[in-house]
Amino acid sequence: MIPGAAGAMLYDAARIGRPGPELFDAAAYGAQAEPVAAGGRQAAWFVQGEFGEGVLRHYRRGGLVAKISDRGYFWLGADRTRSFMEFRLLESLAAQGLPVPAPVAAAYWRQGLTYRAAIIVQRLPDVRPLALLLDQAVWDAAADAVARLHLAGVWHADLNAFNILVDTAGKAWVIDFDRGQQGGVSTPARIGNMRRLRRSLEKVGGAAGLAFFDKLEASYRRYMASRPD
């Protein structure tokens, strides 16, 4: 993937029989790769391979730091690469039956003091982001998904209206666990997650987004109250 770079990967051996760097190259999928239109920072694709349907995402920085390096991260060891940490977190959460996509594979490529990384996760079928569902009564499902994660001690780094998806059966899922953590989530951290979600819903929907959030938050509070830590 990167000339002169050394790398490694983690993968689900039940899904992948031929592991290799080409798994993380969107061009290698040909017509079976489709850019993700919403989110992804122009670095995510829907792909199809021996593992079925997945989402390939290259880690890419945002904000001011992206002007210096949009894909390079400081090397702190393999176990602290963004891709390996997210893979292992999703593997644990999926095993607990939490509403997240299962990880398929993750990789990094180190070059000097920096590295680049990518991950493939299961593509959830027939889902739409919360941002496009503000006129539908799906706030209970979204609140349940967020509450389940919080009660499991999970913190999400970017809980927004595009990272909560709802399928045709009415079940909500949470995606994109880059920088996420499990092991306990404080009350201020929970509040911070909910405030971030509120800002996101207001940004995409204005008054309708805020009205939607008010219903979601009320449901979230009921779920949290009915399921003690």
| CATH code for the structural domain at 6-122 | 3.30.200
- For 111, list phi and psi in degrees, rounded to 5: -145, 105
The pair of structure tokens assigned to 153 is 């001690």
Catalytic site positions: 158
Q: 3-state secondary structure string, the chain?
A: CCCCCEEEEEECCCCCCCCCHHHHCHHHHHHHEEECCCCHHHCEEEEEECCEEEEEEECCCCCHHHHCCCCCEECCCHHHCHHHHHHHHHHHHHHCCCCCCCEEEEEEEEECCEEEEEEEEECCCCEEEHHHCCCCCCHHHHHHHHHHHHHCCEECCCCCCCCEEEECCCCEEECCCCCCEECCCCHHHHHHHHHHHHHHHHHHHCHHHHHHHHHHHHHHHHHHHHCCC
Q: What CATH architecture applies to the domain 127-226?
A: Orthogonal Bundle (1.10)
Q: What is the pLDDT of residues 157-202, one digit of tens each?
A: 999 999 999 999 999 999 999 999 999 999 999 999 999 999 999 9
The predicted pLDDT at position 43 comes to 87
Report domain extents, the chain.
6-122, 127-226
Q: Residue 39 pLDDT > 80, yes or no?
A: no
Q: Residue 66 pLDDT > 50, yes or no?
A: no
Report the distance separating Cα 227 and Cα 96, nearest Å: 16
Assign 227 a pLDDT band (cuts: 50, 70, 90): confident
**118 C-beta neighbours (distance < 10 Å), count:** 27
The predicted pLDDT at position 37 comes to 81
Average pLDDT of the chain, as a whole number: 92
The predicted pLDDT at position 41 comes to 52
**123 C-beta neighbours (distance < 10 Å), count:** 17
The position carrying tokens 């680049």 is 116
Report the distance separating Cα 169 and Cα 172, nearest Å: 9
The pair of structure tokens assigned to 224 is 């949290």
Strand-pair partners of 46: 34, 55
Q: Residue 218 pLDDT > 90, yes or no?
A: yes
Using the Cα atoms of residue 92, residue 93, residue 95 and residue 101 in order, give the sign of their dihedral: negative
Report the distance separating Cα 42 and Cα 147, nearest Å: 30
Q: What is the pLDDT of residues 108-123, one digit of tens each?
A: 999 999 999 999 999 9
- Given a contact cutoff of 8 angstroms between Cβ atoms, the answer to whether 90 and 173 are in contact is no
| The residue type at 66 | A
Average pLDDT of the segment spanning 203-227: 96
The predicted pLDDT at position 2 comes to 53
- Given a contact cutoff of 8 angstroms between Cβ atoms, the answer to whether 29 and 45 are in contact is yes
The predicted pLDDT at position 62 comes to 61
